A and B are shown apart, each in its own frame.
Chain A
Amino acid sequence: MTDVTADAELSALMVSYQEGQFSAFTELYQLLAPKVRGYLRSLTWSQEQADDLLQETFLQVHRSRDSYLPPRPVRPWIFAIARHVFLMERRTFARKRSREVLGHEGVDVPVPPEVERLADRLALQKTLKELPEDRRELLMLHHVWGFSFQEIAGMLGIGAGAAKVRAHRAMSELRERFGNAAEGVDE
């Protein structure tokens, strides 16, 4: 399925959901929950917290479903809600969380397909975790979930140019960490 078809299908599902069809909600969840879960894992570095926030994300999607305006793409809309939920959680419980050890080893965070061949998955995840948070998020949104820089700009409230620069820097850092083997990596 091409991205355009996927967007059209997701948009049609979203419209059915707005009309009150529970089956559309179920299908949207099945199509998008794995991606949103992966995104939340990359933000929290905690499987448990990501699942918890996934539930909150879809509850917020339910509450805000009238703010989806077709034919705009659904994925940036839902990912922006997931990010909002993550930031609400982080800002609300900032003091508590600062005393916790954020994230732990063994969280299955997706890695950009372009760098999968450079090292084993655990080493890649460890390196990703060490990247500055804003660059890592950009890298993941573009290279793992395939958002355009324009879509990312709208989700993060930055310019498309800044999004591109940060993603480029993150990829350069990955290159540096894994040496020459990454030289052929597309940006």
Chain B
Amino acid sequence: MSEDKVFEALAAEVEPDLGPSGRLRPAWQRALTLLPYALFAVAGLVLVLGVRKDAAALGPWWLWGVGALQLAVSFAVFRFMLNESLPGQTSRPRSWLAATALVLAAQISAARFTYDRSPVPLGGDERLPFGTACMGLMTVIGVPVLLLGMFLASRGLPARPRVTGLIAGVAGGLAAEAVYRAHCPYSDAMHIVVWHSGAVVFLGALGFFAGAVWSMRDRERWRNRRTR
């Protein structure tokens, strides 16, 4: 195809479709959509299931302040994911591994210090039912963040949708932890690492899988367009 013909073909498609396109807002502004959801989720959780039973022993900082800090970390990871979904802003594997490690560190260290202030015991026969309930509820709270993240990322052009999904998932996991710690009083290491971190890892894996499906659909669309 000659150079003129390439441009002629392009112009024929572009010109009729051309109008003001608007512009995506910067990643940090788009990531702010996470905050109203988190506030809504924490309000709903406290209204339906109640505040954690050791709230008085913890005081406002350990009850709400630490959750707000975790939400801030989740926001930063969410923003990183949205920025990474723009052309030319792809991050290196070390960065997304660091983001995942940061999320797990923010979760486990907050639980560790909270346990020092309020070591609520969890009986051996309670571990499994309480653990699965925590993991299930955290997943329910985190999935909307994952979906929101993938929707917002799809406005860009992610080079690696699986990684985008993974990061959206772990950010959603930490947002869920920030919300859920207002209800769950159990901060012992075993419970947190197995069930709460398990929920974060599960949401990350769910995001990775969603990204793989996204990639497959992208390829299918591409194949259809190129072979028609």
Contact = CB atoms under 8 A, between A and B. Distances in A.
B126 interface: no
A83 B26 CA distance: 23
A69 B24 contact: yes
Contacts of A87: 159
Nearest to B93: A157
A66 B23 CA distance: 4
A51 B6 CA distance: 7
A21 B23 CA distance: 15
Contacts of A72: 88
Contacts of B1: 48, 51-52, 55
- Band of interface residues on B: 35 or more
Interface in A71-91: 72, 76-81, 83-84, 87-89, 91
Contacts of A25: 14, 18
Given A54-B6, A58-B10, A67 B157 contact: yes
Interface in B51-95: 86-94
Given A51-B1, A154-B90, A67 B222 contact: no
A157 B24 contact: no
A33 interface: yes
Q: Main secondary structure on chain A at its contact with chain B? A: helix
Contacts of B23: 18, 66, 68-70
A62 B17 contact: yes
A77 to B, nearest CB: 5
Interface in A110-168: 151, 153-159, 162
Interface in B168-218: 218
Given A19-B20, A22-B14, A88 B87 contact: no
A20 interface: yes
Given A18-B20, A65-B21, A155 B90 contact: yes
A69 B21 contact: no
B22 A18 contact: yes
B151 to A, nearest CB: 14
B15 interface: yes
A80 B223 contact: no
A67 B6 contact: no
A81 B13 contact: no
B222 A154 contact: no
Contacts of B160: 157
Contacts of A81: 87, 157
Contacts of A69: 23-24, 26, 86
A60 interface: yes
Contact of A84 (B17, B26, B92, B157): B157
B3 interface: yes
Which of B6, B20, B88 gathers the greatest number of chain A CB atoms within 10 Å?
Answer: B88
B117 interface: no
A66 B26 CA distance: 11
Contact of A88 (B26, B155, B219): B219
B129 interface: no
A20 B15 CA distance: 9
Which of B17, B22, B222 gathers the greatest number of chain A CB atoms within 10 Å?
Answer: B222
B119 to A, nearest CB: 42
Interface of B: 1, 3, 6-7, 9-11, 13-15, 17-24, 26, 86-94, 155-157, 159-160, 218-219, 222-223, 226
10 closest residue pairs by CB, A with B = A157-B90, A80-B88, A80-B87, A76-B88, A51-B1, A77-B88, A20-B20, A66-B21, A159-B92, A92-B219
Interface of A: 18-22, 25-26, 29, 33, 37, 48, 51-52, 54-55, 58-60, 62, 64-70, 72, 76-81, 83-84, 87-89, 91-93, 151, 153-159, 162
